[in-house]
Copies of this chain bind each other. A is one copy, B any other.
């Protein structure tokens, strides 16, 4: 299946947690608890998100992370790009020069067209959309454990 990596999925979840809860800085450990993910994993992806400028880190005691911008101005495209690098369906559509077929192959422009459309699709959803989306109808009987996306508990 064509899909984003699990880390990217997790990163989105962590960003939602960060945007959801007021504004104080949250430590990697706290975020891991809220997202039901392993702490080292959360640390790793927060590091990447910080390098990409999507979150701001504070070191030292009582340090942690907070969103660098308002959730409305952070898109899923930002998160995907931070975690996976540029969005490009083929090598040639991002890094020209690696394919000797290039001078002859007309597919490149079409792949670039597709890439652009896909990037737009990711950019059309903001973190705020993710946060405020109406959760699906509650089952009244059970209060579900909050378990990380993709994990089968």
Q: Taking the nearest CB of chain B, how far is it from the CB of A92, in angstroms?
A: 6
Query: In the complex, what's the smallest C-beta–C-beta distance from A34 to chain B, in angstroms?
Result: 11
Mark each residue of chain A from 8 to 34: 1 if its CB lies under 8 Å from any CB of chain B, else 0. Answer: 010011001000000000000000000
- Given A114-B125, A125-B114, A149-B92, are A144 and B87 neighbors across the interface (CB < 8 Å)? no
Question: Which residue of the partner chain B has the closest CB to A85?
Answer: B1
0 or 1 for each of A109-148: is its CB under 8 Å from B? (1 = yes): 1100110011011101100011111111011000011111
Q: Give this chain's copy count.
A: 2
Given contacts A110-B129, A114-B76, A144-B100, contact A1 B136 (CB under 8 A): no
Residues in chain A within 8 A of chain B (CB atoms): 1-4, 9, 12-13, 16, 36, 76, 80, 84-92, 94, 98-110, 113-114, 117-118, 120-122, 124-125, 129-136, 138-139, 144-153
